[in-house]
Structures are given as C-alpha cells and as structure tokens.
Chains A and B, each alone.
Chain A
Amino acid sequence: MEYNLIAGSSPHIRSSESTPGIMRDVIIALLPAAAAAIYFFGIRALLVILVTVLSCVASEYAATRIMKKSTTVGDYTAAVTGLLLAFNLPPSIPFWIAAIGGVFAVVVVKQLFGGLGHNFVNPALAARAFLMASWPVAMTTWTQPRVDAVSMATPLGVDAVSSATPLAMLKSGGLSSLPLPDLSSLFFGNVAGCLGETSALALLLGAAYLIARRVITLEIPVAFIATVALMTWIFGGHSLFTGYPLYHILAGGLMLGAFFMATDYTTSPVTFKGKIIMGIGCGLITSIIRLYGGYPEGVSYSILLMNLAAPLIDRYTIPRSFGGEKSNA
C-alpha cells in the first residue's frame, strides 16, 4: 500500500508555545493589577478597562477587515494593548477619551505600520502620550483611592476628587501640603495614580508569573529599575547620595513600565546586550525626567524614546557567535 507522505524539512516537531498562548499569559499576569485597580478605585476602574479593551479589539477587527488582512483578533494582542492602555489612564478618565485612546493605539500606531510585530513604538504608551497632549487636564486628574466614595457610588460619573500622585508630591519637594504616602501604601497600591500602576505588589505577582512562564526575561526590567534606583539615589536628594531610591522604585509607573511595557516584544531589542542597553536607557531617561524635567513622571516617555532606538540597538549589538571570530556589529 502506498501512503501519501508529507515531506518538509526538519525540525519535525514544534513546541506547544504559540502567539495567542503567550498573549494569554500576559493577560493572566495583568489580572492581579486589574484586581488591585478595581479594589482601590472601584467599579469605575473596571469600566475603564472594559472600554479600552473593547475599543482596541473592535478597532483591530475593523482595521484588519478594511485593510483586507486576515483578522488577528484571535491572537489576543489587541486585548493586551487595551489592558495596558487602561492601566496607563487615571481612574476618572472620561470613557470617550479612553475609547479614542484604544482606537489610536490599534489603528494609528499598530495597524497603519503593518500590524503585529511591525509597530515601532508601544501602542498603549503612544496612545497615552497622544491623550496627554490632547486632553492634559483629564489625563492628570487623580483620584484618591478608596476614600473617594462618590466615584464608587456613581460609577458612570466623572467627579473625581482632585488629588496628587506621590511623585508629584515628591517633586514639589515637600512644599505640598499633603503628607507623602508611606512606603507600604505605595507597595500595596493605596495611592493616587494611573489605574494599573499603583500596586507594586500586584504588578510583581504578575511579573513573577511572566518570568516563570518564560514570557519575559529579566534583563530589561532589572537594568531599568537598577538604573532608576542608582540615579535617584545619587542625584535625587539635596546633595549627592541622599536620594530616596526605594520611593522612586515603588511610586509611579516604574514597575508597570519595567516589567510590562519596556519588555514589549515588538518594540524592544532581542539581543542580550541590547536588552541591557534598553533597560539602562529607559532608566536614565526616566530619572532625568523625574528629577529635572517638567513632568513628575517619565516612565512612558523614556520607553517611547527607547522604542525608537530599539532597531538601531539590535543592529549594533549583534553578538559574537559561538566560535565566531569577531562581533559583526
């Protein structure tokens, strides 16, 4: 009997990993932070998340249909973008602004540049920057966690009690009338800030999951956080070496940025050295903005800037191959 044999070149087996599988892992890893956001900022946080995720997924579907590409909604990458975008918005953000952010992230930043794997900056962060430029007030109106019973009671309202983020307070050098939140509040997330960035604990849980599942490697986050720690320790105080690095690590979007945004596959280098450079670059820019810039927070701009440099970094960090004579960079 003759059989119809499939030829094809080796390897004849493949691992069970897949793009949707990896994205599912990223979503799972973001769930603790989502839960923390809902716990601290109430049902409104959940609604913001739903709005951005829906807007991203719908944009992805529509864009791929219009551009006549096979739809890529099934790979969950749009959902991940939606989640990350929500995490980068203040809890009181008007829903329509959040929705525009999702459309911008997926249509303008991702699909117009060729879709998955081709965008050169992180879609969620680019959308955040875009919203920041367009609606600066809405984007910097902060809600005090838990105490804001109003937003709990009227989930659809946009009546946030103005507050200040810990970094903004730190930046104003204690001149602010509000007392700085203590470290444990920062660690657990009981502070004002963007939805997903407040709870270092929840983010670390998710990060540990990603590392255990080998979705991300440690080079970028470690280099990023270490650089911020070093810089803020040296230059963050009134004189050299009197800064408050732990505060800078736990406050603001550093944890979220270092583990979940700077490690974005498409927009970060793939070489070992490249990843270290990416991390250090992000750390330097973040510290400079935080310490000397006009904004209290610099994580997202630092990542966006380094995103632009990523292809170049890869090109100049081609490793020397095993037994190879020279590095070819």
Chain B
Amino acid sequence: MLKALKAFKGGVSLPHHKHTEHCKTVEMGIPKKVAIPMLQHIGAPCSPLVKKGDRVKAGQKIGDSDAFVSSPVHSSVSGTVTDVRPMLYPGGFEVVCVEIESDGLQEIFEGIAPPVGLEKKELIRAIRDSGLVGLGGAGFPTSIKLSPPPDKNLDILVVNGAECEPFITSDFREMLENPGGIIEGIRAIMDLTGVKKAFIGIESNKHEAIGLFSRRLKDVPDIDVVSLRTRYPQGGEKQLIYAVTGRRVPAGKLPSDVGVLVQNINTASFIASFLKTGMPLIKKKVTVDGSAVRNSMNVEVLIGTPLRDVFEFCGGFKEEPGKIIMGGPMMGVAQFSLDNSVVKHTNALLAFGRKDAELQKESVCIRCGKCVNACPMELLPIYINACVNKGRFEETLKYDINNCIECGSCSYVCPAKRHLVQSIRYGKAELRKMASAKK
C-alpha cells in the first residue's frame, strides 16, 4: 500500500453515514415495467430502434446514435415495448424513453457472445456497443476515454475507489464482493491503452478494501493501492489525480492532458464481466439509504426500474419522504417523481424525511472566509456569489468561475447557509448563454 503523494487544499470533512457498508448486495429481480431513457450519458441522445408493440429481449440494443460522443442503450428485460415517448428524466428534463412491459422470463438476446479474438480497436468498439459509460456519476462514454487522440500519451491509470460522498457504499461493496473482477478489468484497461502503471485510490477509512487489495496485489508490481486522505471531495477527478500522481490537471483540460486515465471501480469490473460474457450494461449496483427509508441496503437493480419499485423493495418509506436524491447528498440530483428510472450512472438513491429536506434560509454573508478555505479548487466562492447576485457575470471570469467543479463544499460549510454553488451554476449557465449569443 502506498500513501497518497499530495493532499489537495481545502475540502470538508463530512459525516460518513455509511450505514450500508456491511450490507451485501442483494439482487432486486425483475420489475413489471421498465422505462429506459435514450440519454443516460454525456453526449448525443440515442434514437430508439424499437417501436410500440415490438418484442425485445434482455441485452438487446434498443437505442443508438451515430454521434461520436454517445452510448447505445439496451433493454434490461425481455418483454413488449408498450410506449416510446418523452418522459421526465432524472436530470429534471424530458427525454425520449422506451417503456417495456417485462414478461418475467428474462430471455437473453441471441446475439450476445463474449468478444473473443478481437483486435484492440474492435474490442474498444465492442465496449462502446456494450453501452458502458463512467459509472461513478458523470456518465461519460468509456470507449472514448479508452481511445484518446494519438497526441495524448497516457501513462497512468487511476482507479477511483475514493467514494467520498456520504451514504454511498456501492463501490465499496463491489471492492469487497468482486476484487478479482476489478483487478481483471484493470488489467484489460491497461492492455487496451498500453498504460504501464495503475493505482487504485481508496479513502483511508475503508480499511477492509485497502487490506484486501493490498494482499491481492502483493506480487503485482504494476498495480498499487493508494490510501487516500478521507476528505471530501477526494473522489473528484482532479483531486484524485493530484493525490495519486502529484499532477495538476490544468483548468479547462482533461486528465488525458496530464497522461492520466481515470476509471471508476464499477466501470473496471464491468469491463471484466463484459469480456467474459458479452452482456451489455443492463444493471447497476445502487445504495438505497436515507432517513425515510425503512431498510437501508445495497441493491443490484435493472436499468430502467422505476425508483418507486426500488424503494418498495427496500421496505418502503418509514416516514413521508420530502426529498429523493439520485446520487450522493453533496452532488446528487433531487428527483421530482418516483416514476423516474434508475439509469446507468445511478449509484445511490436517498430518501429523506420532510424535516431533513427543508431548505435552510439564506442570511447575509458574514465574510467568515470558510467557503474560501473549503474550496478544493482554491476559488473565492464568496466573491463569485456576490458577482452573480449583482448580475455581473463577466466579472466572475476574473474569479475563474469555470474552474469550479460544483462539489458543493462551499455551500456545505457556509454558516450563513448561502446558496453558493447554486449561484455559481447559474452564473456558468448565464455565461454560456452570453457566449452562444455572441456567435
């Protein structure tokens, strides 16, 4: 085990709430109906390949796109397409969804076979067709990261096992339940990209996972475990790269610009299972927790399953939920409806009671500087907030607004409960609008 090279400045120490860390992942089974959005990734949405009345099987491709940055989607069940229409998406806007009534048989699509004997290029193409996107939360198509342009020389793979958000344990459980798969996946990524060195970064409070991987990798010289400081947002891509490699990703640049490839734990293990079975991405490990949930647990859920069914599987609500969050409490997205579906990058579903969900009232900034000390990107949230509130968007550029990773640390610490990152998001959006208006 190695110690992290560097500690990023700022950040916050959060209550962990990892109630589910000892909850073995339970398979949820087949829902009656799934609704599969055509956009579950960063990039262009897919066009549906099926129509109402079609029969589909599990693993069958039901949507794809010709765009370079996109990722196909597959049916997670066998059954009949009952509708293809725009529906509310977990991000809060409408996206075309394919609704499928499952027949409960879970017949596997005939075309599915392990991708054997393929060239590197073809294998990366196969991974694209598996629908794999970064499973850590952002949902960027993995195949694109695996084939960087020739001028970018990748030399380090960093596997993100930091899982720094409170409540979420789906990566941690995968590390304990499937270490072999994760290591196989890492090996496969190294072979595909020619990267010679890999690090698995794990926060220091996850002793079991660190111990397990240290033992397994004792005689493996080119994969190391790195114990990371337990501090939010340690799993932020730039913070993680800095901690493990000492390299700073320049503002507005990508990890590949400093020779680093970052993959999530569950992304690595999916690649291993895909190479063995050829089964596309149709299910997801999800942590279900929060004050309103009766049984907190880790569940393996078919993609497209309505949130309602997942919560019911976990014993329903023990109090009226006031807020449902997809993802962690720091960066997750509040859900408008329990009819939304689990998507590819869903790693947690949290439900909080009314009391925990109430918005806190903003009061005046007392200039305590706590937001400044908490910002891992070394920004001045206090002044960006002030500029945005006065409508002086251009001025926020002086404060490097676009370098904000929207981690929420500033809002978290603010004693005046100011909506700092919220205003920063708004400021960024206004700047984008102004830029496109200029064109």
Residues of A near any B CB (own CB < 8 A) = 2-15, 17-19, 21-22, 75, 77, 115-118, 214, 217, 265-266, 268, 270-271, 314, 318-325, 328
Contact = CB atoms under 8 A, between A and B. Distances in A.
B225 to A, nearest CB: 25
A10 B408 contact: yes
The B contact surface, by secondary structure, is loop
A129 to B, nearest CB: 21
A321 B378 contact: yes
Contacts of A22: 366, 368, 415
Contacts of A265: 366-369
Contacts of A11: 329-331, 408, 411-412, 421
Given A11-B330, A14-B417, A15-B12, A6 B376 contact: no
Interface stretch (B53-61, B154-162, B201-209, B395-403): B395-403
B118 interface: no
Interface string B229-254: 00000000010001000001111010
A266 B382 CA distance: 12
B9 A322 contact: yes
Contact of B364 (A14, A117, A321): A117
B320 interface: yes
7 contacts: A6-B323, A9-B422, A18-B415, A117-B365, A318-B399, A322-B242, A323-B251
A6 B357 contact: yes
A268 B321 CA distance: 43
A20 to B, nearest CB: 9
Contacts of A6: 322-323, 334, 357-359
A270 B369 contact: yes
Interface residues of B, number: 70
B97 to A, nearest CB: 20
A77 to B, nearest CB: 8
Given A12-B332, A265-B369, A319-B380, 18 more contacts: A6-B322, A6-B358, A9-B421, A10-B325, A10-B327, A10-B332, A10-B408, A13-B14, A14-B411, A15-B12, A17-B413, A21-B415, A22-B368, A117-B366, A318-B383, A321-B251, A322-B8, A322-B9
Interface stretch (B39-47, B191-199, B295-303, B335-343): B335-343
Contacts of A14: 360, 411-412, 414, 417
B116 to A, nearest CB: 41
A324 B408 contact: no
A217 B368 CA distance: 10
Contacts of A217: 369, 373
A6, A12, A77, A321 — most chain B CB neighbours (10 Å): A12
A13 B403 contact: no
A229 B14 CA distance: 39
A270 B380 contact: yes
B333 interface: yes
Contacts of B408: 10-11
A4 B324 CA distance: 10
A5 B377 contact: no
Interface string B340-373: 0000000000101000011110011111111011
A12 B411 CA distance: 10
Contacts of B415: 15, 17-19, 21-22
B422 A324 contact: no
Given A7-B334, A117-B365, A322-B403, A271 B372 contact: yes
Given A8-B334, A12-B352, A265-B366, A324 B251 contact: yes
A4 B337 CA distance: 9
A325 B251 contact: yes
Contacts of A9: 334, 419, 421-422, 425
A116 B329 contact: no
Nearest to A70: B363
B5 interface: no
B368 A322 contact: no
